[in-house]
Structure 1
Amino acid sequence: MNWYLEVLRKYAEFDGRACRQEYWFFWLFNILISAFLATIDFFTGTFNFATGVGLLSGLYSLGVLIPGVAVTIRRLHDTDRSGWWVLIPLIPIIGGIVLFVFMVMDSTPGDNEYGPNPKQTGILEV
């Protein structure tokens, strides 16, 4: 849960690096919270089947949109890539696969142009 909260604390911080744990734990908790809110929307009648979005889950998705993009860009920085690679999923099928591969790759050892390696500096502790 600390990884999720750390991403929210860095709400719109696009500089620096994010290790794999920070990225994947953020998305794990994001999916769990979204599923929980969608369930609440379904049982309270605020889920719209035509759009596939409910009131609470829609508001939550808007709230974590910027932190999600920011942590993805920081994760790309950790693999020594520009944040502009976040747009690669705009290429159908192949783009999403390429971004996924970048997200599962290990950090670039040592410092790179985006900052020190978060695994080696102890910026985030497990």
Structure 2
Amino acid sequence: MSSAYQPYPQDPSGGYGQPPQGGWDPSQRGYLQGGPVGFGEAISEGFKNIVTFHGRASRSAFWWFFIGAIIIDLIGGIIGTATHAVAIQYIIYALVAIGTVSLSVRRLHDSGKSGFWWLIGFIPLIGTITLIVFYCLSGTPGPNKYDA
């Protein structure tokens, strides 16, 4: 005996977690929507959005910025030490740190996690390992609740 009644509405787009029927192309997303970027764009957009804690950040945006932040910190440290301009060195460190925290929060958003997970990094060793795993996870396909 079959019934025309469906207990749940059927989603023609493929269901929960599936791309819409027209397809979902991650390369069509912008920077704050978690779209892929190169090294230069990751650095420039990272500093343009230095205090933006909403939206998403792709793995490429996060890791390219992370490498750039290390380079900028090293250059700032060398220049600051050579010129005895410690204040400039600390300003550079503070700007890079703020940019890294905001990008980390957006990276967590891309993998579907709350930005408050960043605080787990204060737990020695276990927190750092947990964050590295979260940063390496792929982003959630399609829109999520943290989209800009």
Which fold has the larger relative contact order, with Cα–Cα distance below 8 Å and residues 6 or more apart in sequence? Answer: 1
Structure-1-length-normalised TM-score: 0.79
1:75 matches 2:80: no
Structure 2, unpaired ranges of 5+: 1-39
What is the aligned partner in structure 1 of residue 53 from structure 2?
Answer: 14
Conserved? CA contact 2:73–2:96, under 8 Å: no
CA RMSD of aligned residues (A): 1.5
SS in 1 for 2:93: helix
What is the aligned partner in structure 2 of residue 37 from structure 1?
Answer: 76
What is the aligned partner in structure 2 of residue 94 from structure 1?
Answer: 126
Aligned residues: 109
What is the aligned partner in structure 1 of residue 144 from structure 2?
Answer: 112
Conserved? CA contact 1:38–1:56, under 8 Å: no
SS in 2 for 1:64: helix
Structure 1, unpaired ranges of 5+: 47-53, 117-126
Overall identity of the aligned pairs, in %: 35
Which has the larger Rg? 2
Higher share of residues assigned helix: 1
Distance, in Å, in 2 between the alignment partners of 1:12 and 1:45 is 29
Conserved? CA contact 2:109–2:146, under 8 Å: yes
> Residue 64 of structure 2 is aligned with which of 15, 21, 25?
25
